[in-house]
Structures are given as C-alpha cells and as structure tokens.
Amino acid sequence: MVEIVKKIVSSSKYNIKCPYKMTPTRIVVHNTANDASALNEISYMNSNNNETSYHYAVDDKMIVQGLPLDRNGWHAGDGNGKGNREGIAIEICYSKSGGSKFDKAEENAADLIAYLLKKYGWGINKVTKHQDYAKKYCPHRTLDKGWDRFIKMVESRLGSTSTKQPNTSKSTTFKVIYQTWDDVKNKWLPNVINDSDYAGIFGHDVCCVYANANEGDIYYKVHVKGGKWLPEVKNRNDYAGLYNKPIDGFMIKSSAKKLKYRVHLRRSKKWLSWVTGYSTIDSNNGFAGILGQEIDAIQIKEA
Ligand SMILES: [Zn+2]
C-alpha cells in the first residue's frame, strides 16, 4: 500500500468538519468528480469552512487522511444517517477525467479499504457507496466502470479468507439473484431471487439490470428503447443498461441451468409470455419484450 500521509484538520474546526464522536461501522466510497490531487483535496477541505468533510482522499501516488477515524464526516448526504455518522469516507481522486491516474487511484483505494476491513475485522459487505445513502450518482466513475469490479478488486486484496468454499451441497436450490435500476426513484431496487417476487415497480421504467446465480455464470443483454442491443454482461462484472434510458428488450441465459424469463410492459400493463431463448431474433422466442414498449418489471427462474 502507498504511504498514508496525515493532514488532520485543526481541532479548532472540529465543530464544522467532524463535530461528533464516531464508532465507524462501514466504509463509504466516493469519487471527487474533479481532477485535484489527494493532497490538494484534503488541503482544500481543511482550509474552507464548509460542512463538507471526508476521512481520506486517495490518488495515484498517496493516501491522505484529513479526519480522525473516531469522528464523523459530512459526505454522504444523509444528514445524521448512518452514512455520515458511522461511515469512513474515502474520496477517489481524478474521477472527472479518468484515465490511468484514476485507475491507479482506485487501486490504491482498494488497498486502503482492504487494510481498513482487516483493521476493523469487517467483511466486504461493509464497503458501501455514497449512492446507497443519497440520490446521488457517486462514486460516478467507479460506478460507470462497474461497482462489482471494484468490490472484486478489494476482495482480491483480502487474501484467502474471502475465497468461496466449493459448493459441496448438491441439494442447493438454483437461485438467480437480480435487481433493476428504477428510473423514477433513481436507485437500484432490492435484489429478487427467482420468481419469489419480480424486479421493478409497475409504472416505473427499468433502465439497468444486474444479475448473477449461485451456480454457474449468467449472461444477459438489454435493448435500449429507440437504440440498440448493448453488449452482453457476465454476472455482476457490470450492469446491463444505461442510466435514464428505458429498456424494451431483455435476454438472459445461464451456463448451469436452462432459464425462463418474462417482462412486464409499462404502458400496456401486462406480463408477456415466458421466454427461454437467447437471441436477437424475436421470432425465435429469443428475447423478452416488444421493441418500442418500455419494460417496468422482470422475472427470471429456472425453466
Ligand atoms: Zn460522493
């Protein structure tokens, strides 16, 4: 891990920047949305009198700490919620322009997060993002590049303790786990397992889909309304879809099981028939949806 440089804010500013004692319970990941270095990011935070503050800024060369870890920051947009009052905030630098400096900053942030998880004895589920607390698309570039990819970067640094045990129980039920991005609420809806429920809210366009299974690999694609089929996504390496772009076609398959799936149409308020294929040729029962008609819910299960 690169060096951690401590530039802790003056205690005379604790009342503005970190007024409360804190017992941290989680990490909250941010992107700065600018192109400042970590040192400049923390210097700026420490020098102004805004109620905006974060524990660390990380760039391609160093990690700079600006707040003590036993005091809160103001970064998550949730007032006195768990993000602000229980979260260790990490800002990843150079997210505005991206490129190799940002990529290295993300790697350094993954090192720092793995270090903090070990220090506090936390699991990977303690790594959260700004977006989990407020209606804000942050960490924007980390999300664009794939949140699950970033989580895997952290996991890979945790060592063998986090490697999954081989699945020895043959009686385990096959589970597809999936969720959709709600364009009205502007957030990911909760995960759904098989057809115990459906993913989506009737009347709200689905824009993006995330899916994986407890066995084998899942592959899926969406068609953007008025646009085209987007590239195939595997498991949760990425999500399928574009924010704020309703989808009108969906297809999914598994390497382990035959799946069937269906979609609900927002305007005609009905479920279409179950589909088992995986092809852009609709006559081949290849995908679920009718091009031109927005999808507002999805269901997936083993065929
Ligand atoms: Zn943020």
Q: What is the pLDDT of residue 99?
A: 96
- Structural domains in the chain, CATH included, are 4-159 (3.40.80.10), 176-302 (no CATH)
Global model pTM greater than 0.75: no
Max distance between CA atoms of the chain, in angstroms, equals 70
What is the Å distance from ligand 1's center to 26 Cα? 15
pLDDT in tens, 24-72: 999 999 999 999 999 999 999 999 999 999 999 999 999 999 999 999 9
Q: What is the pLDDT of residue 285?
A: 78
Q: Residue 120: how many CA atoms within 13 Å on its side-chain side?
A: 20
**Reported confidence tier of residue 243, pLDDT bands at 50, 70, 90:** confident
pLDDT in tens, 246-262: 999 999 999 999 999 99
Give the Cα separation of 49 and 127 in Å (integer): 28
**Reported confidence tier of residue 185, pLDDT bands at 50, 70, 90:** confident
Q: Mean per-residue pLDDT for 157-170?
A: 51
What is the Å distance from ligand 1's center to 90 Cα? 9
Q: Mean per-residue pLDDT for 129-154?
A: 95
What is the Å distance from ligand 1's center to 129 Cα? 8
Q: At CB < 8 A and 24+ separation, what contacts does 94-99 make?
A: 94/32, 94/35, 94/37, 94/59, 94/60, 95/31, 95/32, 95/33, 95/34, 95/139, 95/140, 95/141, 95/142, 96/32, 96/33, 96/34, 96/35, 97/35, 98/141
What is the Å distance from ligand 1's center to 30 Cα? 4
- Is 209 in contact with 241 (CB distance < 8 Å)? yes
What is the Å distance from ligand 1's center to 235 Cα? 26
Secondary structure of residue 293 in the 3-state scheme = coil
Secondary structure of residue 265 in the 3-state scheme = strand
Q: What is the pLDDT of residue 160?
A: 46
What is the Å distance from ligand 1's center to 230 Cα? 27
Q: How confident is the prediction for the chain on average, in pLDDT?
A: 92
